[in-house]
A and B are shown apart, each in its own frame.
Chain A
Amino acid sequence: MVGELRLDGVTRRFGDQVALDGFDLVIRGGEFIALLGPSGCGKTTALNCLAGLLPLSGGSIWLDDERIDGLPPERRGFGMVFQNYALFPHLSVRRNVAFGLAMHGVAKREASERVEQVLDLVGLQPHAEKYPAQLSGGQQQRVAIARAVVMEPSLLLMDEPLSNLDAKLRLEMRTEIRRLHQQLGLTTVYVTHDQEEALSLADRLVLLRDGVVEQVGPPEELYPQPASAYVAGFMGYRNLLEMEASNGATDGQVTVGAEGFELRGTDRRDGGGRHVICAIRPEDLRPGEGPNPIDARVVVVEYRGQELAVEAMTEQGTALHLLTTERLVPGDAVMLSADPERVLVFDAEEEARDGGD
């Protein structure tokens, strides 16, 4: 019943521009995949190729043993939740949800049963007779999801479904989407540029960059073990410092230096290049004595409830981001330190910094 979806070298070009280049991925039945990357990385292109809304320029898509990339969207049987929800404005909530069943010629009685079930599931029963324009953003979002899941699609595609919601609702709907997935077990491909969303929802993350897969893996793997500075930028390593490595690495550690300070960090380079990016999470950079001391001055302090988000600057002008419970105020001189285990050293690449948020 739950099939395996295979993308084999899926490529899409727009004119001279390659939006997606040789995308390989096997999605197991029931899996929740997040396609993560900045805008223009090809994630929405990948989704539209899967949905059949964009023809491929190369490669193939297989559902079990059936090649499906030639099928029009209406014959793929995939559900899709659009970024702007794309609810039919002239149909009531109930008829929006029933639309797909009607198109597939599902018998009236069965269709209405399934519609009522799904409306219950997303808590829209009280609004079933309303029109989309009469609903709040969160309710519209629920209708969009209900309309897709009522079809029990073999694959559910979601295109940044939370990006139009305010922060509080976004958190609520995130939980809701995860709950629905646990309940229904629908194979899902979810496109987002928000690493938090991807990390909290997905069984596996696919990090895309300029149309090419950068890293694939479960959140538990990507979060502590990013493969590159680019991935690290997405996994919460807000400090991405361009530095120079000194010769020789010992015990998997390497010493790197910049103007004014020197750090010892975990070596994650492929070769042993001298130009490196040094990645540190804000929460791993602490005020106080310790290994890897850096002298800096506090520039900006943001209140975050439990802790403060602080931007500090070294004398040479390197900006550092840290999270701390200490009551710092702008102008304070601080000594920062970081555990070498938590300082990752990657090969420098030109666009490595674009990955950050």
Chain B
Amino acid sequence: MAATETLRVSAPTRRSRLAERGVDRTLLLLAPAVVLLLAMFAYPFLYGLQLSLRPQEVGGGLLGNYRAFFSDSFESGTILKTLKLAVPATAINVLASIPIAYYMRGTFRGKRLLTAILVVPVTLGTVLVAEGLLRYLGPRGWFNRTLLEIGILDEPLRLVHNYWGVLFSLVITGFPFAFLLILSYMSGIDPTLERAAATLGAGPWQRFRRIILPLLAPGLATTAVLCFVLAFAVFPSASLVGEPSGSTRVLSIAAYHAAFEDYDYSMGSAIAMIMGAVELAVIALLLGARSRLYKGPSTGGKG
């Protein structure tokens, strides 16, 4: 029936019907973005994918690189090493941001200054943070020297050039992102909801647990995704304050080694693909959890 109607109706009607579904000439405005996306993302991705399927080693077959990666425990262990850094860093950044954002949700004197102080690390590059960490937390850094002077320690703690150094660096650079995002989600929650809960007998903890947290949860999931992506791609700090050939040999370092030290671009591409797949899996998990949460507005009623 629809087909016969389409035959009879004139062109403007079809156009207006398409417009009703959001298909009209304004869609052309998307063209530059689509071109950019194809050129900067889709093409490199597909190029990398086909490269990864053509191993340099003869006779490896289509999946030779992948087989090689997963059969070598030193290589495949990098997945776990990366997750071991990215997951705790994400958790720390998100969980630490919640209480701080909660206490900063209102307006008070000095809020701007406090926010600025909390956010400054974003403006420092990873390299600067790494340098600071080396000086501060190193064996002869202030931190260890102070603890040694006071007599709490007998020998310096090893806090850099290992797992902890990288984790510190990820927290320092990742926290401001998480905090800013969560603060804005938190500020989006109508403050009268909390007051309403209070008049209904909810104490401070219950107000947080029953009202704030459920309304914040979708935002927390989004924040966690972004933090995870940032942390998962860790490279500079893993080399500078980590142990790039040992405990912090993360996926990006493995890919770098393959491509630029062994000159095996194909293997490097394969590792990059694996990296993407793991990332996607974790993101899918987080967004899956998010879709089961409440997603509506965070204000009550009109106004």
Contacts and interface: CB of A to CB of B under 8 A. Distances in A.
A89 B297 CA distance: 7
Interface stretch (B16-24, B189-197, B260-268): B189-197
B109 interface: no
A83 B195 CA distance: 12
Contacts of A72: 198, 203
19 contacts: A74-B200, A74-B201, A82-B196, A84-B300, A86-B190, A86-B192, A86-B195, A88-B196, A89-B294, A89-B296, A90-B214, A90-B296, A100-B201, A103-B202, A103-B206, A133-B297, A137-B301, A137-B302, A151-B201
B199 A85 contact: no
A104 B201 contact: yes
A89 B200 contact: no
B230 to A, nearest CB: 29
Contacts of A76: 199
Nearest to A147: B200
Contact of B197 (A83, A89, A99): A99
Interface string A125-168: 00000011100010010001001100100000100000010000
B303 interface: yes
Contact of A86 (B201, B202, B215, B300): B300
Nearest to A48: B195
Contacts of B296: 89-90, 131, 133
Contact of B300 (A75, A85, A104, A157): A85
Contact of B303 (A83, A131, A132): A83
Nearest to A80: B199
B211 interface: yes
A212 B203 CA distance: 33
A52 B303 CA distance: 23
A86 B302 contact: no
B298 interface: yes
B72 to A, nearest CB: 48
Which size class do A's interface residues fall under?
Answer: 35 or more
A174 to B, nearest CB: 18
A132 B202 contact: no
A85 B192 CA distance: 9
Interface residues of B, number: 26
Interface string B280-301: 0000000000000010111111
Contacts, number: 102
Contacts of A147: 196, 200
A79 interface: yes
Interface string A219-263: 000000000000000000000000000000000000000000000
A79 B195 CA distance: 11
Contact of B301 (A79, A85, A100, A151): A85
Given A85-B301, A131-B296, A100 B200 contact: yes
Chain A CB within 10 A, most for which of B193, B200, B202, B211: B200
B214 A86 contact: no
Given A100-B201, A148-B199, 7 more contacts: A74-B198, A78-B199, A84-B299, A87-B300, A89-B296, A89-B300, A103-B200
A286 B99 CA distance: 67
Interface string A187-227: 00000000000000000000000000000000000000000
Interface string B77-91: 000000000000000
A133 to B, nearest CB: 5
A74 B192 CA distance: 14
A90 B200 contact: no
Interface string B228-257: 000000000000000000000000000000
Chain B CB within 10 A, most for which of A73, A140, A147: A73
A53 B191 CA distance: 12
A160 to B, nearest CB: 11
A100 B190 CA distance: 19
B301 A86 contact: yes
B298 to A, nearest CB: 6
B301 A144 contact: yes
Interface in A53-80: 53, 72-80
Contact of B199 (A73, A89, A133, A137): A73
